[in-house]
Structure 1
Amino acid sequence: MSVSMLSTFIKPMHPEGRRFVAAGALVAVVLFFLWVPLGWLGVGLTIWIYYFFRDPERTVPSRPDIMVSPADGVVSLLEPAVPPAELGLGNGEMMRISVFMSVFNCHINRLPAAGRVVKVAYRPGKFLNASLDKASEHNERNGLAVRLADGRSYGVVQIAGLVARRILCWTKEEQDMARGERFGLIRFGSRLDIYLPEDAAPLVRIGQTMVAGETVIADLTGALKET
């Protein structure tokens, strides 16, 4: 198998996944001693865990004045909504794009647009199905408020899901970040909400498949619109 073919199937794994893969491998070994078919099931589980924590390189678009998807998954909501109060983005509605991640998606989260992270706010909550609209309000979440170079601000919120039990965010307040830069992950199924800045135009539709760091989700100038 060539190097290019290997790279298609074998992706780098985020360090967060190492202990889970090790635990899965240990379980597989024990199951082989109990019954060989169970051992192979353990191998399959271990491979899936590795696949879940994969962290492939992405080609971030260089075009100015755009926002990219913060997550792999499918657009599940596209509507005006009031952002979480803890982000300090005001009480008015902002256009919200929600990207739902299944347990088969890559769960590394990337920043939609370059800027300074002015707020990182965690809030405990429930673990409802992340595809539901009310998950934005009731579920455990972690949000970032980001200020663009032109002074406008937007929000991106990690929301735990039905089987997600851990939100990770390694970004700090007052940190300057580039478009597409990794800022966190959520374990085992979840959702990302993006609250677009004023005058930005969404360029996606409900049901559209997203690739984190690559798929363009909005035009910051508002000049382009999805048709």
Structure 2
Amino acid sequence: MTIHKEGYKTIFVGFFIAAIIALVAQYTVANDVAKYIVFGVAAIFFFLIVNFFRSPERICSKNARAIITPADGEVVVIEEVDEPEYLKKRCMQVSVFMSPLNVHVNWFPIGGKIKYSKHHSGRFMGAYLPKSSTENERTSVVVETIDGEEILVRQVAGALARRIVCYAKEGDQVEQGDQMGFIKFGSRLDLYLPLDSNIKVKIGDKVVGTQTTIATL
């Protein structure tokens, strides 16, 4: 299992905490059963941290007219909305919610040129709430396709997520399926697509980053 670079520091700290807990239990807990329970809890704690930062290697079948899923998770929003930050027009919004158990790597949903990339400080409400898209800590990225379409993808922090990492820089050329960033713990990804996009998913669908097609242009 490959570990994402954004997790190295957290995993080290998690290992240190788990080791301290086990060491303290070794010398302070007299009951063997209780001691092994503490060891087990410490091991599970460390395993969950390592598992969270897993970074699977996936082959993306590139398609210039397809919007692939930028994250693992569940589709929680499909609706027409006004996008006020950059596109400033009516769009189709598709949102994917990531639980703490999902892979939290984010990928570019389509290839093209980065026209806009901006981080916004904000609140840490539950990422499943509609207001989280505009009020939570978030980063908005706009990719202009080879055909001149502009697609906005927004990383949104959740109640547990305290750090959004985004690699997009204005002016860069990116490939569909390249890593866009990482969000630590529960969060969501919003996509803002042209109104005439052919949506291929429905609410409640489980999607896999780079593998599931969200829509075609």
Q: Same fold (TM over 0.5)?
A: yes
Given that 2:64 and 2:110 are in contact with CA atoms closer than 8 Å, whether structure 1 keeps it comes out as: no
Find out whether 1:89 has 2:87 as its counterpart. Answer: yes
Equivalent in 119, 138, 142 of residue 141 of structure 1:
138
Paired-residue identity, %: 36
Q: Give the secondary-structure state (helix, strand or coil) at the position aligned to 1:133.
A: coil
Structure of greater Rg = 2
Match of 1:152 in 2: 149
Residue 16 (structure 1) aligned with residue 6 (structure 2): yes
- Which residues of structure 1 form unaligned runs of 5+? 1-10, 221-227
The C-alpha deviation readout for 1:118-142, integer Å capped at 9, x for no partner, is: 1001111111110011111211110
Alignment match, 2:54: 54
SS at match of 1:71: coil
The answer for the alignment partner of 1:77 in structure 2 is: 77
Identify the residue that residue 22 of structure 2 maps to in structure 1. Answer: 32
Count of residue correspondences: 207
Contact 1:24–1:43, Cα closer than 8 Å, also in 2: no
Distance 1:174 1:64, change over 3 A: closer
Residues 62 and 176 of structure 2 are in contact (CA less than 8 Å); yes or no, is this contact kept in structure 1? no
Shift of 1:160: 0.4
SS in 1 for 2:83: coil
Q: Is the 8 A contact 2:6 2:182 kept in 1?
A: no
The counterpart of 2:199, out of the listed 199, 202, 208, is: 202
Aligned to 2:68: 68
Secondary structure at the aligned position of 1:159 is classed as strand
Q: Which runs of 5+ in 2 are unaligned?
A: 26-34
Q: Which residue does 2:44 correspond to in 1?
A: 44
Contact 1:30 1:39 in 2 (8 A): no
Measure how far apart 1:63 and its partner are: 4.1
- Cα gap change, 1:114/1:162 in structure 2, threshold over 3 Å: closer, same or farther? same
Mapping for residues 70-219 of structure 1, pairs under 5 Å: 70-85=70-85, 88-90=86-88, 92-219=89-216
Aligned residues of 1:24 and 1:42 also touching (Cα < 8 A): no
Please, what TM-score do these two structures have when normalized by structure 2? 0.92
Please tell me the residue identity of whatever aligns with 1:40.
G
